[in-house]
Amino acid sequence: MPRIQLCRVDELEDIDARGFELTQTDPAHDIFIVRNYDNIAAYQNSCPHNHGPLNWLPDIFLSDDKEYIQCVNHGALFELDSGHCIYGPCNGQSLTRIDVEIDDHIIYVVI
Ligand code: FES
């Protein structure tokens, strides 16, 4: 599986998220990463509720308090580090995780 470079860790705030459209893969993948201090997680940008994107605006994936990933469609809340839904219509389900590697402060996904 190819390893795809995304960005440097220090391009993200301590708690932050950023979306990426991976056109190097076939099919292309719509993903986002979440930094929670030292933990970096990557997820498919697909809500378990309707299997569409979680965001309407670029890079807006977190709740206002940055405690959770929030789906803009119906307000589902997901844990930052696990992607597990703790509130909303898909309560108990999880986002699909993607393997992440950090190499010399650069974030990669293996997809
Ligand atoms: S589509 Fe995400 S909560 Fe409904």
Question: Residue holding tokens 């929670």?
Answer: 36
Secondary structure letter of residue 80 according to DSSP:
T
Whether ligand 1 lies within 6 angstroms of the CB of 41 is answered as no
pLDDT exceeds 80 at position 44: yes
Ligand 1 pocket mutation, candidates 74, 77, 95, 96, criterion most atoms within 8 A of CB: 74
Ligand 1 atom 4: the closest Cα is on which residue?
74
- With H, G, I as helix, E, B as strand and everything else as coil, classify residue 101: strand
Name the helix (H) or strand (E) containing 29. Answer: strand 29-36
Q: Residue range 93-107: average pLDDT?
A: 98
Q: Residue range 52-70: average pLDDT?
A: 98
Q: Quick one: which atom of ligand 1 is closest to the CA of 75?
A: 3
Burial of 39 (0-12, 13-18, 19+ CB in 10 A): exposed
Q: Residue range 23-43: average pLDDT?
A: 95
pLDDT exceeds 90 at position 35: yes
3-state secondary structure 31-42: EEEEEECCEEEE
pTM to 2 decimal places: 0.96
Provide the terminal-to-terminal Cα distance of the chain, rounded to the nearest Å: 6
> What span, in angstroms and rounded, lies between the C-alpha atoms of 55 and 71?
6
pLDDT, tens only, 1-25: 789 999 999 999 999 999 999 998 8
How much distance in Å is there from the Cα of 8 to the middle of ligand 1? 30
Domain-wise residue ranges, the chain: 3-110
Fold observed for domain 3-110: Rieske Iron-sulfur Protein (2.102.10)
